[in-house]
C-alpha cells in the first residue's frame, strides 16, 4: 500500500519524464518524487538497485507500459 504523499507526488511527475522510461521497470523513491533506477526487466532493475546499494524494499517498483503495449480495456464512464 502506498501513502497519500506518494500518490500525490507520483501523479505530479511530468508525463515527459515518465515517457523516458516507457516499457521499463522503474523504482520510485518512497515519496514518489523521483525515479531511483530503471531496468528492462524486474531482475535488471533489482540488479541496478543492488549495485547502487539501494534496498529494493525501500522503494516502490512499477512497470511503465510502452506506447505499443496493451494496458487493458478502456473504461467509458457515462
Give 31-66 pLDDT, tens digit per residue. 999 999 999 999 999 999 999 999 989 999 999 998
Q: Give the chain's end-to-end CA distance (angstroms, integer).
A: 29
Residue 74 has pLDDT above 80, yes or no: no
From CA 22, how far away is CA 3, in angstroms rounded?
24
Phi-psi region of 62 (alpha: psi -120 to 50; beta: other; left: phi over 0): beta
pLDDT of residue 69: 80
pLDDT of residue 68: 84
Domains of the chain: which residue ranges? 4-64
Q: What pTM was estimated for this model as a whole?
A: 0.82
Amino acid at each position: 500500500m502506498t501513502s497519500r504523499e506518494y500518490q500525490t507526488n507520483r501523479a505530479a511527475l511530468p508525463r515527459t519524464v515518465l515517457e523516458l522510461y516507457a516499457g521499463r521497470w522503474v523504482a520510485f523513491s518512497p515519496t514518489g518524487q523521483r525515479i531511483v533506477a530503471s531496468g528492462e526487466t524486474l531482475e535488471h532493475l533489482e540488479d541496478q538497485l543492488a549495485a547502487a546499494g539501494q534496498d529494493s524494499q525501500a522503494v516502490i517498483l512499477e512497470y511503465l507500459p510502452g506506447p505499443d503495449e496493451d494496458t487493458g480495456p478502456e473504461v467509458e464512464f457515462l
